[in-house]
Structure 1
Amino acid sequence: MDRGSKVIILGRNESLKKLGTVQTISLNPLAFEEYRYLLKMLAFGSMNPGDHPQLATIMEEFAVVFEGSLVSANLLGYAVRKNLNAHFWLSTLNKIRITRKVNISRSGCHPNGLFDQGRPVHFGPHHLLSPATPSCLIPSAGCPDSSLPKVILGDLLAEACHIVQPKGDFRLISWESRLPPYTAFVHLVRFVPSCVDDKPEASLSGKKRLGPSA
């Protein structure tokens, strides 16, 4: 084999296949049962979910709403492990449901799909980020302006009452690797006044919905 540099390309864009010189390897998403198990492990850690039946039921709903997103799973696990309170879990679930509903209504696409396509994800009042700051999260191919304030989304979810969200644009860390080289997903969150009038149609409860069967 000839010596020289070799590059491994990881991505979701099908067009990247054209850049390869060997056969591509496709990774299938986790089955729902596998994804649900992963969520529980990330959320409960070494604890037994059976000791927290109400929280385990809520986690089933997160598995339905997230539709297999691994970044969302890690983010949620980071946030809810710090607060094993059913009211907090339900509140977070409802905000995520509303955010999903708003983006599907605006663009016809789940927020996961918008991220994959590099399209903005909108957060209006009473949505995921803040009840007072309508925002637009822009997936970033490069690093946003390093002079902007930085907020870790997991901390924002876990300690919403104790963290003051910047008034204007800021950098949002949605996920950061625990292993070298400590890769992070950094996004630009831009203040969008046009979102001020966006309101959820109704408050969503934590009532169990029918999802994929176990």
Structure 2
Amino acid sequence: MENIFCAIVSDLASRSISFLINKCSEKRHQPAAEKRLQRLLLRARIIVEEADERLITKHAMLQQLSILRKEMYRGYYTLDRFRRHGHEEGSTKDHKVSDDSFAASSSFNPAKRIRFCRVSGQSSEEQLLLQVLGCLGVTIEDSRELVMLLSSCPRLCHQPYSMHLLLDIALFNRQTEMEHIMSFLLKDDTPGAESPAVLPIVGPCKVGKSTLIEHACRHERVRNRFRQIVSFSEDDLQDASMVTLRDCGVIKHQNHETGGAERVLIVIELTRDIDESAWSRLYSASKSFVANGSKIIVASRSDKIARFGSNQTLRVKYFTQEAYWYLFKVRTFGSVDAEEHPELASIAMDVAMELNGCFMSASVWTALMKANFNAEFWSMALSSIREYKHTNFLVYGVHRDYPWQATEPAYVRRVNKNPSEYLVISYEYQTCSPARDAEVSELNMQEFLFGSVVRQGKKFKVVAWRSHLPPHYNYIFTCEVWSIQSSGHRAARKRSQKLCT
């Protein structure tokens, strides 16, 4: 009896010491690092937002600003992950304590000694927080010259105060890419250089190439420099002889006040590759009707167009995970402080991670989540995304981030929880013209993703998203309900059965 009593007292003493060390560690390290990171992020944010209101043309300043911006996004991402980790630990604390009580009863148990060491040390989340804190501090210290030079840059028009409003009218995290394009368009050709100069822009599907080009073409300095801005698509370039190049394409801008300047800006947007002979014919045809100083921008998903450029190729990439989370968080919470809703912030981070950097997915889901600001709907959205990815992995054997990135029919969800019927996106396209709701669908995006669909065998269209940025594309889905017995589903079903076995 005496031995049992000693063991109980020893166990309680061990747990008390472990608890006190844990609390002391939290008080001395975690809040201090967390608060310091908050202060540094506020300083970084002030510098970045001030820079966003300035016209910066020096490449070195843009590089310095890009480094600071990346560290700021990384800081916010790490801080939110740290808080999320703390929130999840707090919500399961009682459960973990209960489980620990069933560990070995002896105070000399090796497992308990290991647990004691872990509590007294730093967790991986805490170590990452301190690492990011150090990197951000150094980056801000290195940005002193940048802050001084910002005052010499001319101020742009006044922007809205809140970042979530600014994102509705401006490009996010594309200042370096924009300046690359603007520098090419406004720079005079060097003597003896071949004209027109060519800038290739390469990037994956829906990364924002068209939006970047459109913003550049709408800039006042660009419109004042060129008499015409003409856009060509692949359909316009079907004529192999290119004799009618002058007569095809779409005139995006016509400037009658350029005096004697006859410079033309030609924009060519491709989805497929273009061979060297076709490019030679196109380039020769363009030289026949444009004046010296004219420019060509050619954009494509294929890296092969880089060899046609006379300037360094601009490569547009998806956002980093940290930048994507910053965008997703700002658009989802708007003017609401995410710190006041730790559960929602945790779910939002899970959703952002599942969407894996897709900008269009962020636009669709942030709008839905902001309109339904509650944990139940957000959890349902997260489950829906995971179910979509799992279903399409079983069907095709590859991971897909979301339907608008698929080239084959995408299985969105079951219809009314019926295991034999799926809502399928069979085709997706985009248009610049306003979508007429009467010809598209009565369904909004929320009903499409979560409502009941009873259109078995009949195709219908749904407007997935209307871009708030030029060129204001409408992304439209052609959808139908497929039965598991339908001929269109047989091949996919065989694939699914094979993978399941």
User: What's the TM-score once normalised by structure 1's chain length?
Assistant: 0.73
Measure how far apart 1:30 and its partner are: 1.3
Measure how far apart 1:111 and its partner are: 2.8
Q: Output the CA distance in 2 between the equivalents of 1:74 and 1:175.
A: 8
Q: Output the CA distance in 2 between the equivalents of 1:56 and 1:83.
A: 14
Contact kept in structure 1, 2:409 and 2:426, CA below 8 Å: yes
**Aligned counterpart for 1:46 among listed residues 315, 335, 340:** 335
Structure 2 CA distance for partners of 1:113 and 1:179, relative to 1, 3 Å? closer
Query: Aligned pair 1:152/2:440, yes or no?
Result: no
Q: Where do 1:32-181 residues align within 5 Å?
A: 32-112=321-401, 115-125=404-414, 131=417, 134-141=422-429, 147=439, 149-154=441-446, 156-157=448-449, 160=450, 165=453, 167=455, 168-181=458-471
Which stretches in structure 1 are left out of the alignment for 5+ residues?
199-214
Query: Aligned pair 1:7/2:7, yes or no?
Result: no
Contact kept in structure 1, 2:430 and 2:475, CA below 8 Å: no
**Aligned counterpart for 2:479 among listed residues 173, 189, 193:** 189
Which stretches in structure 2 are left out of the alignment for 5+ residues?
1-194, 197-262, 273-299, 494-501
Q: Residue in 1 aligned with 2:236? A: none
Give the SS at the match of 1:55.
helix
Measure how far apart 1:148 and its partner are: 5.2
Structure 2 CA distance for partners of 1:76 and 1:142, relative to 1, 3 Å? closer
Structure 2 CA distance for partners of 1:180 and 1:35, relative to 1, 3 Å? closer
Q: CA RMSD in A?
A: 3.4
Contact kept in structure 2, 1:79 and 1:155, CA below 8 Å: no
Give the SS at the match of 2:443.
strand
The structure with the larger Rg is 2
Contact kept in structure 1, 2:270 and 2:301, CA below 8 Å: no
Larger helix proportion of the pair: 2
User: What's the TM-score once normalised by structure 2's chain length?
Assistant: 0.34
Q: Residue in 2 aligned with 1:210? A: none
Contact kept in structure 2, 1:121 and 1:138, CA below 8 Å: yes
